[in-house]
Amino acid sequence: MGAGVIGYAVAYEMAARGAHVRIVDPRGHGEGATRASAGILAPYIEGHSDALLQLGIASLNQYDNFLARLAADARLDLEYRRTGTLQIALDQDEVRELEAQAGRLARAQVDHSLVSTSDIARLEPGVASDARAGLLVPQHGYVGVSSLMTTLVAAGARRGVTPVVTNVEAVAATAGRVTVTTTDGDVTCDAVIIAAGSWSGGIATAGPPAPVRPVRGQLVQLHASPGALQRVVWGSACYLVPWTNGTVLVGATVEDVGFNERVTQKAVRSLRASGERLAPKLRMATFVEARAGLRPATVDELPIIGPSSTMRGVFYATGHYRNGVLLAPWTASVVADLVLTGTRGEGLDLVRPDRFGL
Ligand code: GLY
């Protein structure tokens, strides 16, 4: 349930291993958090807890292989570059934070370099000339999420994943089978995976609702000259993701506004201003569009992945908050292992549904 990046990655992986999979979503594919994701793959920036860092690194290590399989099945190319990230400090406090972060990376023996103002001018001439320091992490990168979604849908179709556009009302487990009640009738199956992101809590089950709350993210898409930036640039107020065709994504807001998926003028203005502060030449870039999506947040900011403790045949793969795209390959492989063979992959104990009574 849920045809976003997580639902589709799980569906694809399970179908590729021989399962018959239907993927159910009332709005079709990629309409939740996926819609406004910038696709940044940067666990050493976004891994704010040891657990999230561990899962992010594991998933990043699976990315090359996962996308190669997908692209081969879909017969499509997708935008994916391990350009590295350059985090920028614009004032002395931010320099101290970057130095502390570089110290942590050094202790963990992670490849990185702390660079000076003149290095930044050489590496990224588009970045503000008053940048005080930068932190390069070469193994980071990004994936173009629209091309990832298209590829997932095409690869899933080749493996027999059947999309069903309908509303799921309830899920009930009885006698080793699971019955899904939809607006268009009941469906019975061996297993259900709840991967409906922010909407996961609205699916009625015998247990408590999944404690996932929506956090809006707005993103602006600009068109600049190709090569205006070489790599993902991360600042304290925004991040910039440059695609090879000149697209630059500027993200993202973090807003507690419930199930409100509207784009606001205020966010567009503020993201553009932050983007131009970080890379002044973006003043010349043309506005393409702004998008909003709802990130599915949990209280501990870790996803909920694994079997329901109360309903046999029901599994969760939801609550990925800011990390759905990064964690998609790992989530797909651990869920497929769990559902198809009963194997509990490494890291699953960090994201157990029963920590929320599920
Ligand atoms: N992972 C970036 C974001 O959620 O804004």
Report phi then psi at 170, rounded to 5.
-155, 160
Centre of ligand 1 to C-alpha 33, Å, is 10
The two domains 5-78+144-210+299-356 and 91-138+214-297 share their CATH topology (first three levels equal)? no
**42: CA distance to ligand 1 center in Å?**
10
Distance CA 180, CA 21 (A): 14
* Strand (E) or helix (H) holding 317: strand 314-318
Query: Nearest-5° angle of CA 165, CA 169, CA 174?
Result: 110
Closest C-alpha to ligand 1, atom 3: 322
pLDDT recorded at residue 310: 92
pLDDT at 139: 97
For residue 176, the model assigns a pLDDT of 87
Q: What CATH class does 91-138+214-297 carry?
A: alpha beta
* Domain residue ranges of the chain, discontinuous segments joined by +: 5-78+144-210+299-356, 91-138+214-297
Angle between helical axes of 145-158 and 5-16 (0-180°, round to 10) = 30
1 CB burial (10 A radius; 0-12, 13-18, 19+) = buried
- 320: closest CA among 339, 340, 297? 297
Q: Among 3.20.20.70, 3.30.1330.40, 3.50.50.60, 1.10.150.530, what is the CATH number of 5-78+144-210+299-356? A: 3.50.50.60
Q: Find the 50 Cα to ligand 1 centroid distance in Å.
A: 18
Task: Yes or no: say if 296 and 325 are a contact pair by the CB < 8 Å rule.
Answer: no
What does the DSSP 8-state code read for residue 224?
A: -
pTM of structure: 0.97
Question: Is the distance from CB of 135 to CB of 98 less than 8 angstroms?
Answer: yes
Tokens of 111: 């490849």
Provide the phi-psi class of 105: left if phi over 0, else alpha when psi is between -120 and 50, else beta. alpha
User: Ligand 1 centroid vs 169 CA: distance in angstroms?
Assistant: 29
The Cα 77–Cα 144 span in angstroms is 11
CA distance 288 to 308: 42
Beta strands in the chain (DSSP E): 22-24, 40-41, 80-81, 85-89, 113-116, 133-137, 141-143, 162-164, 168-174, 177-182, 185-189, 192-194, 213-223, 232-234, 239-242, 247-251, 286-297, 304-307, 314-318
CB 71 within 8 A of CB 282: no
Atom of ligand 1 nearest to the CA of 217: 5
Report the candidate in 307, 314, 298 with the shortest Cα–Cα distance to residue 349: 307
Q: What is the pLDDT of residue 175?
A: 84
Pocket of ligand 1 (CB under 6 A): 40, 46, 217, 251-252, 295, 322
Q: Distance between CA atoms of 19 and 165, rounded to whole angstroms? A: 20
133-137 and 40-41 strand pairing: unpaired
Cα 273 to ligand 1 centre (Å)? 18
Q: Where are the alpha helices (DSSP H) in 248-323?
A: 265-278
Residues (pLDDT < 50) of the chain are none
pLDDT for 244 equals 95
Report how far ligand 1's centroid is from the alpha carbon of 294 (Å). 11
pLDDT of residue 153: 98
Nearest-CA residue for ligand 1 atom 2 is: 322
> Which of the listed residues 46, 55, 250, 255 should we mutate to test ligand 1's pocket, taking the one with most ligand atoms within 8 A of CB?
46
Best of 142, 236, 321, 322 for a ligand 1 pocket test (most atoms within 8 Å of beta carbon): 322
Find the helix or strand (DSSP H, E) in which 93 lies: helix 92-107
- Of ligand 1's atoms, which has the minimum distance to the CA of residue 321? 4
In angstroms, the CA 167 to CA 25 distance is: 6
Q: Which atom of ligand 1 is nearest to the CA of 219?
A: 5
Question: How many angstroms separate the alpha carbon of residue 295 from the centre of ligand 1?
Answer: 8
* Distance in Å, CA 15 to ligand 1 centroid: 28
